[in-house]
Chains A and B, each alone.
Chain A
Amino acid sequence: MENTILEMQFAIDTFYFLMMGALVMWMAAGFSMLEAGMVRSKNTAEILTKNIGLFAIACTMYMVYGYELMYGGGVMLDGISGAGDKYSSAADFFFQVVFVATAMSIVSGAVAERMKLFAFFAFAIVFTGIIYPMEGAWTWNGEAVFGLFVLGDLGFSDFAGSGIVHMAGAAAALAGVMVLGARKGKYNKDGTSNAIPGANMPLATLGTFILWMGWFGFNGGSVLAMASKESANAVAMVFLNTNAAAAGGVIAALILVKLLWGKADLTMALNGALAGLVAITAGPDTPTALEATLIGAVGGVLVVFSISMLDKVFKIDDPVGAISVHGVVGLWGLLAVPLTNSGVSFSGQLIGAATIFVWVFGTSLVLWLVLKAIMGIRVSEEEEADGVDITECGLEAYPEFTK
């Protein structure tokens, strides 16, 4: 009898894991639609190619070596059998691999409209095979950072990856944008910034809603169990808080842009939703619903100021706001955890954030520079003006709209 119950638990936890992983996989669709909506129509097909390409590369590279590096699952997964203690180990790989793809998706939006497609893919191979798995091993797998210190012992905690996934993706994106430079026409000679409006707001909105939905898998799945009263309650609380934080982010961003600029900029409301989600990801299990809403709302405020400052003060041209949404707010998410979770310390969070950022930013910067030297990472000025759809993919996203 007891054995039957244990088998039921195993089956339910595995099933839950797989379903949540499938939800996170769907976030790739969300990023694709968000980015397709936020770029100009002449660069749509290329950003979509980047998104589906990077997803496949992430899945393959994590299978080949990433999972071994992060959790010791064996090269080509040869350490994985169908079995596991609490759930199938194959389900664990499946859930982990979609997170790698999410981190990589963050990069594609920031470097949109001007990067060579295959330089991006080359970066994706190393990022998903080595850079991300290394910091993943230090954090979620509790390994010592280069044998020096263990982040968990210092009071570091990142529940579903505000830092490990989101800030890491943003750090790689920031390094890429710094090496790549701004889009042509983005900045005037006197340094003032021009707006380059995205082509398709319905797609950007759809993408945001898809991400919002996928995030229930991202955070909810990170409870890692469902088949007990305790874990079911935890999952429900995580769902509730994830949703509340996204709502808080939207409301805060909308009110702020209305006050700042007089109009309700939809793109900022969308970024506000994602900011709320990123903010709660590091600790969706401990806040109350109101606290979660406020953590999301702070994320929504931060993202508006951050996007504006990166654009105007630092001249970082990020067409979709990825560095602000995932990086700046990712850091806020980490720092918000000790507010509601006494087992986590501010210093631990800061050291963890610094470790992730220095590692990912540093290695990414070197990698981008190497790629620039070997193959070039930026399309020519003429190709950029014509749009990378034609020059990189040989087709247009909307051939009959533009003719």
Chain B
Amino acid sequence: MKMVTAIIKPFKLDDVREALSEIGVSGITATEVKGFGRQKGHTELYRGAEYTVDFLPKVKLEIAVSADQVDGVVEAITKTAKSDDDGKIGDGKIFVSSLEQVVRIRTGETGSVAL
């Protein structure tokens, strides 16, 4: 089992959710987060004085999947979360890590049946 953590642009959330549903992903956790990567922050003017926005709003997705689903999930996110055809700095990142155990609280089932 794998845990896929993806940081994406907020306006791509609907597209990504749709693409993941199509390939059979049954659950997604989405969190509104703030952060920066290579894009860094940017400066704005308020009444003529500058202020810096260091942390930009992003959405963090957490998706627990079986090992054989990982490639499809990563591909679906990569394809749909990309801005334009070539993508842009700030489109986000995907982290894949191994997942030791999953428990469904209602039934107590464990392992991939609990996904």
- Interface set of A (CB-CB < 8 Å, partner B): 192-197, 257, 260-263, 265, 267-268, 304, 307-308, 311-312, 321
Contact = CB atoms under 8 A, between A and B. Distances in A.
A307 B47 CA distance: 8
B108 interface: no
A267 B48 contact: no
A195 B51 CA distance: 5
B32 interface: no
Nearest to A186: B49
Nearest to A321: B47
Contacts of B49: 193-195, 311-312
A234 to B, nearest CB: 37
Interface in B41-96: 44-51
Nearest to A261: B45
A257 B46 CA distance: 10
A146 to B, nearest CB: 39
A193 B48 CA distance: 9
A192 B49 CA distance: 9
Contact of B46 (A260, A267, A304): A267
Contacts of A197: 46, 51
Contacts of A311: 47-49
- Find the residue from B45, B47, B49 having the highest chain A CB count within 10 A: B47
A260 B50 contact: no
Given A197-B46, A304-B48, A312-B49, 7 more contacts: A195-B44, A195-B47, A261-B48, A263-B44, A263-B45, A265-B48, A308-B47
Contacts of A265: 45-48
Nearest to B48: A308
8 contacts: A194-B50, A195-B47, A197-B46, A263-B44, A265-B48, A267-B46, A307-B48, A311-B48
Interface string B25-52: 0000000000000000000111111110
B47 A194 contact: no
Contacts of A304: 48
Nearest to B49: A195
Nearest to A197: B46
Contacts of A267: 46-47
Contact of B51 (A194, A308, A312): A194
Contacts of B51: 194-197
- Find the residue from B44, B45, B46 having the highest chain A CB count within 10 A: B46
Which 3 pairs across A and B sit closest by C-beta, in order of nearness?
A195-B46, A195-B51, A308-B48
A195 B53 CA distance: 11
A192 B50 CA distance: 9
Contacts of A321: 47
Nearest to A198: B46
A330 to B, nearest CB: 19
A109 to B, nearest CB: 13
Contacts of A263: 44-45
B2 to A, nearest CB: 36
- Find the residue from A194, A195, A268 having the highest chain B CB count within 10 A: A195
